[in-house]
């Protein structure tokens, strides 16, 4: 098959054309002003890659070990709710594509397929993403079911004590079950491919939650989740999950490096540094900016995964340099799913792998472990890149939000954080000819 998409951006544009507006906006949108959504991209672009040559890169590998298992790439298809809105049985297609590329697939509690169907989809590694519900018995049953079906790891999402204000969904009237308005019906007529597929398969349904909870009608997905999830969740609840689950346990939704000590105390195996793809806290820090602080805090004692805004192989290289063991992608594979199911997702994964290979070879990294902070610089202003440095080199300042002066280009650099907790970007004294413009 001749593929017309050559990047994740191409998949996004194709998905925008093929999906009804209310479905595309559900996948594509963020919370509030979508400031975090934009910052995720801006922050990644601030991190510049340092090419290194000549280096013998005649033999390179992207293989990575996570929780004792070997995978072909440092990429994970992360949990994305309501994937069936993009393509019928979308969760199953995502799992199959991941299996074909020997990378993990994380099934969402808000999946539109059953746990049994996903467990049987291909021979790859499946992990399960768990919400802690107000009714703890529901969460307990899901943990037991994940174990019985052979899911290899558990990801507990913790950044949803209250849903973000997803204004696109509110304006479009996105709800479950779908409620039809004249505008939505007109959108269906304008997107006959999606409409026919959905008519044949039936409207998407949150199969896992329906089986365990039964679902009442809600105005938006956020309101539905708010009715079920428990805002009182704390580390004692994570300890309860730890006691109930004897496999790898990952906590997803971390932005505060100060929480690392508690994770280590409880015996968590990994963390996902995440701002929920810009869908929760509007104005949150980008994960690529806070990632080095987590690595400085935990050292090698935790597996660090990261998500939120990663769309290219170069983005993945940036994360590997700054301390991530692997990157979880969400929208990237949902856009591809909307373009053609499993085959398109597989093509998107191949694109990411090819892009990462280019970055890897040009940066002189023969293996994933060769990526490190010396291979990146952060650009705070167009003509002032700053080399990455360790926390030990950073001066101690009072408070995370200490006052800093705005420079003449309007860029506000991050304050120097406490040296005991955070890695810092040390100012350089480069000449004009060395500056990145």
Catalytic residues: 276
DSSP per-residue codes, 13-34: HHHHHHS-HHHHHHHH--STT-
**Could you tell me how far CA 283 lies from the centroid of its own chain?**
17
H or E segment and range at residue 180: none
Helix axes 331-362 and 8-18, enclosed angle (nearest 10): 160
H or E segment and range at residue 76: strand 75-77
Q: Which of these, 75, 105, 81, lies nearest to 93 by C-alpha position? A: 105
**Could you tell me how far CA 114 lies from the centroid of its own chain?**
22
Q: Which of these, 317, 328, 325, 319, lies nearest to 361 by C-alpha position? A: 317
HSE-up of residue 81 (Cα within 13 Å, Cβ side): 19
Instruction: Give the C-alpha distances (Å, rounded to integers) separating 184 from 23, 41, 168, 333.
Output: 10, 30, 14, 25
Instruction: Give the chain's length.
Output: 437
User: Judging by beta carbons within 10 Å of its beta carbon (0-12, 13-18, 19+), is residue 400 exposed, middle or buried?
Assistant: middle
């Amino acid at each position: 098959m001749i593929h017309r998409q050559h990047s994740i951006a191409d998949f996004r544009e194709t998905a925008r054309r093929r999906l009804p507006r209310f479905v595309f906006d559900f996948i594509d949108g963020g919370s509030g002003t979508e400031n975090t959504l934009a910052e995720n991209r801006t922050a990644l672009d601030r991190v510049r890659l340092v090419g290194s040559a000549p280096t013998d890169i005649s033999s390179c590998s992207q293989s990575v070990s996570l929780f004792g298992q070997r995978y072909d790439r440092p990429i994970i298809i992360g949990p994305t709710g309501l994937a069936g809105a993009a393509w019928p049985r979308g969760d199953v297609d995502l799992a199959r594509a991941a299996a074909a590329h020997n990378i993990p697939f994380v099934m969402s509690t808000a999946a539109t397929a059953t746990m049994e169907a996903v467990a049987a989809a291909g021979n790859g590694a499946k992990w399960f993403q768990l919400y802690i519900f107000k009714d703890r018995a529901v969460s307990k049953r899901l943990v037991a079911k994940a174990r019985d079906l052979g899911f290899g790891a558990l990801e507990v999402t913790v950044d949803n004590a209250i849903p973000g204000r997803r204004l696109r969904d509110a304006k479009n009237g996105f709800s479950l079950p779908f409620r039809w308005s004249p505008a939505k019906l007109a959108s269906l007529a304008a997107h006959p491919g999606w409409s026919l597929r959905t008519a044949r398969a039936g409207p998407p349904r949150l199969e896992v939650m329906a089986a365990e909870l039964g679902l009442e009608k809600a105005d938006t997905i956020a309101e539905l989740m708010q009715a079920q999830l428990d805002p009182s969740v704390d580390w004692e609840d994570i300890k309860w999950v730890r006691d109930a689950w004897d496999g790898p346990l990952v906590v997803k939704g971390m932005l505060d490096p100060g929480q690392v000590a508690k994770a280590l105390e409880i015996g968590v195996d990994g963390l996902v540094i995440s701002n929920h793809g810009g869908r929760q806290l509007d104005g949150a820090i980008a994960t690529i900016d806070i990632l080095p602080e987590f690595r400085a805090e935990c050292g090698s004692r935790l597996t660090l995964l990261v998500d939120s805004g990663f769309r290219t192989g170069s983005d993945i290289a940036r994360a590997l340099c700054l301390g991530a063991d692997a990157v979880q992608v969400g929208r990237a594979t949902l856009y591809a799913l909307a373009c053609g199911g499993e085959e398109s997702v597989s093509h998107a994964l191949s694109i990411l792998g090819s892009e990462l290979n280019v970055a890897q070879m040009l940066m002189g990294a023969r293996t994933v472990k060769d990526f490190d902070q010396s291979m990146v610089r952060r650009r705070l202003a167009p003509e002032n890149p700053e080399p990455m440095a360790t926390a030990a080199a950073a001066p101690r300042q009072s408070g995370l939000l200490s006052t800093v002066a705005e420079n003449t280009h309007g860029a506000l650099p991050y304050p120097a954080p406490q040296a005991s907790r955070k890695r810092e970007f040390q100012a350089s004294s480069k000449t004009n000819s060395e500056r990145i413009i």
